[in-house]
Amino acid sequence: MDLSDEDLYDVIVLGGGPVGLFATFYAGFRDLSVKLIEATEDLGGQITLLYPDKYIYDMPGFYEVIGTEVVKNLVMQAKRYNPTIVLGERALKITKLNDHKFEVVTDKAVHYSKTILICTGIGAFTPNKVEAVGIPEFEGRGVFYYVRDPERFRGKKVLIVGGGDSAVDWALHLKDIASSLTLIHRRDVFRAHEKSVDALMHSNVTVKLFYVLKEVKGDDWVRKAIITNVQSNKDEEMEVDDILVLVGYKADLSIIRQWGIAMDSRGVLVDDTMETNIPGIYAAGDVASPKSGFRQNLLAVGFGQAATAANRIKKYLEPSSSAFEHSTLREPSSKITASPETATH
Ligand SMILES: Cc1cc2nc3c(=O)[nH]c(=O)nc-3n(C[C@H](O)[C@H](O)[C@H](O)COP(=O)(O)OP(=O)(O)OC[C@H]3O[C@@H](n4cnc5c(N)ncnc54)[C@H](O)[C@@H]3O)c2cc1C
């Protein structure tokens, strides 16, 4: 198949989460033509899906910033060099046609590029569930696995189940919105940021350690939760309006596993240039599993990986190009088509 320059992009970025968005900007900044393909109808990845209204405290340059604000700015920045953005298409298969040509088959179309940058995060992910009587019956009727709109918990008696970052962060966020907030955790050790756990323990949240959710009762909506102390085996009944089960997420990387790229149990293996075992295919963000084994699923880390990958892709396509450039030294202004005012969602 003969492709025009327009159809054959320098790089296809798979995944429009925060890292894919920054990679899209950065590749454009390095004068590469970019097509971004996102499986859902929304950009922003986990931030948009899981914590749009949560404060982020470790975003470089911000004292604190709310999730949606970060996504809005990432989208604006990503559009700076006029990439092609495809929403609602899930990449199903990648085939290397030759050294500088890849074919990406999605559930709706076929796309071509000289390189691929995989930023698919933890893939199609599903929330972990807890084994408690009545849970399946009340899902969506008082039992939730995500917080889309914190305001819907205003004035409610809320029970949070979990001891990870998600549970602790949401407890802190909802503590002054809910009329009462209880967090139960099956152990006394949290898998959450130390500072957040400290804040939780000194807050108005009722924290019950060594408790699990045993049963959920109600009518057309959840009304009661039976919780069990795993040390004493005694049950307690609580009145609740809503239960948030925040016990982590299962990543589903099964699609990527069919692409013939070397992976470990947590993602796509990359070297320190973010290249995979297949020349021309790179990965960044949560999907990337550094061969060093030191993995950090953090926005700041993912952004650095995106910049590294884009710089390496530039070098791969144009070996005589510089390894990196400072924005003050070179701004390919001829390619700027979007202004901050027009390049929003
Ligand atoms: C509750 C919670 C709170 C967090 N708080 C913080 C925090 O305060 N600070 C911090 O640094 N980090 C935080 N994180 C982690 C941070 O959100 C992730 O590290 C970050 O989202 C990773 O970005 P990503 O772009 O690599 O992946 P993702 O955000 O997962 O985005 C991946 C995108 O790829 C798309 N995709 C997947 N498969 C395909 C496919 N086959 N084809 C096309 N598109 C596909 C997905 O739909 C998604 O939009 C938090 C995470 C959670 C869950």
Q: Is 299 in the pocket of ligand 1 (CB under 6 A)?
A: yes
- Give the residue carrying structure tokens 């696995």: 145
| 3-state secondary structure string across the chain | CCCCCCCEEEEEEECCCHHHHHHHHHHHHCCCCEEEEECCCCCCHHHHHHCCCCEECCCCCCCCEEHHHHHHHHHHHHHHHCCEEEECCCEEEEEEEECCEEEEEECCCEEEEEEEEECCCCEEEEECCCCCECHHHHECCCEECCCCCHHHHCCCEEEEECCEHHHHHHHHHHCCCCCEEEEEECCCCCECCHHHHHHHHCCCCEEEECEEEEEEEECCCEEEEEEEECCCCCEEEEECCEEEECCCEEEECHHHHCCCCCEECCEEEECCCCECCCCCEEECHHHEEECCCCCCCCHHHHHHHHHHHHHHHHHHHCCCCCCCCCCCCCCCHHHCCCCCCCCCC
To test the pocket of ligand 1, the residue of 35, 46, 94, 268 to mutate (highest count of ligand atoms within 8 Å of its CB) is: 46
The answer to whether domain 8-125+250-335 and domain 129-247 are alike in fold is yes
Q: Is 46 in the pocket of ligand 1 (CB under 6 A)?
A: yes
In sequence order, the β-bridge partners of residue 98 are 101
In sequence order, the β-bridge partners of residue 218 are 222
Q: Is 212 in the pocket of ligand 1 (CB under 6 A)?
A: no
Q: Is 167 in the pocket of ligand 1 (CB under 6 A)?
A: no
- For 227-236, the CB contacts below 8 A with 24+ separation are 227/159, 227/184, 230/186, 236/211
For β-strands 235-239 and 222-229, DSSP reports them as: antiparallel
Task: Give residue limits of the domains in the chain.
Answer: 8-125+250-335, 129-247
The reported pLDDT for the residue numbered 15 is 96
Ligand 1 center to residue 134 CA distance, Å? 30
Region of 142 (left: φ > 0; alpha: ψ -120 to 50; beta: rest) is left
**CATH entry 3.50.50.60 includes domain 129-247:** yes
CATH architecture of the domain covering 8-125+250-335: 3-Layer(bba) Sandwich (3.50)
Of 7, 60, 18, the closest CA to residue 43 belongs to 18
The residues, any chain, with a CB within 8 Å of residue 203's CB and separated by 6 or more, are: 171, 172, 175
Ligand 1 center to residue 262 CA distance, Å? 21
- Give the residue carrying structure tokens 């929304």: 42
Of 293, 302, 291, 295, the closest CA to residue 117 belongs to 302
Q: Is 297 in the pocket of ligand 1 (CB under 6 A)?
A: yes
Would you state the structure tokens that stand for residue 36, as one six-digit string? 């971004």
Longest dimension (CA), the chain: 71
In sequence order, the β-bridge partners of residue 245 are 161
Ligand 1 center to residue 40 CA distance, Å? 13
Would you give per-residue pLDDT tens digits along the chain (345 residues)? 555 555 999 999 999 999 999 999 999 999 999 999 999 888 999 998 878 878 899 999 999 999 999 999 999 999 999 999 999 999 999 999 988 899 999 999 999 999 999 999 987 667 889 999 999 999 999 999 888 788 999 999 999 999 998 899 899 999 999 999 999 999 999 988 888 899 999 999 999 999 999 999 999 999 999 999 999 999 999 999 999 999 987 777 889 999 999 999 889 999 999 999 999 999 999 999 999 888 899 999 999 999 999 999 999 999 988 888 777 655 555 555 555 555 443
Ligand 1 center to residue 53 CA distance, Å? 15
Per-residue pLDDT of 2-57, as tens digits, reads 555 559 999 999 999 999 999 999 999 999 999 999 998 889 999 988 788 788 99
Residue type, 47: I
Q: Please give the number of the atom of ligand 1 that sits closest to the Cα of 256.
A: 41
Closest protein CA for atom 1 of ligand 1? 166
User: Per this entry, what is the length of the chain?
Assistant: 345
The reported pLDDT for the residue numbered 323 is 80
Q: Give the angle subtended at the CA of 53 by the CAs of 51 and 54, to the nearest 5°.
A: 65
The reported pLDDT for the residue numbered 344 is 40
Q: Please give the number of the atom of ligand 1 that sits closest to the Cα of 286.
A: 26
Per-residue pLDDT of 177-202, as tens digits, reads 999 999 999 999 998 888 889 999 99
- Give the residue carrying structure tokens 């549970």: 167
To test the pocket of ligand 1, the residue of 106, 120, 255, 308 to mutate (highest count of ligand atoms within 8 Å of its CB) is: 120
The reported pLDDT for the residue numbered 41 is 85
Q: How many whole angstroms separate alpha carbon 77 and alpha carbon 61?
A: 15
For β-strands 101-106 and 84-87, DSSP reports them as: unpaired
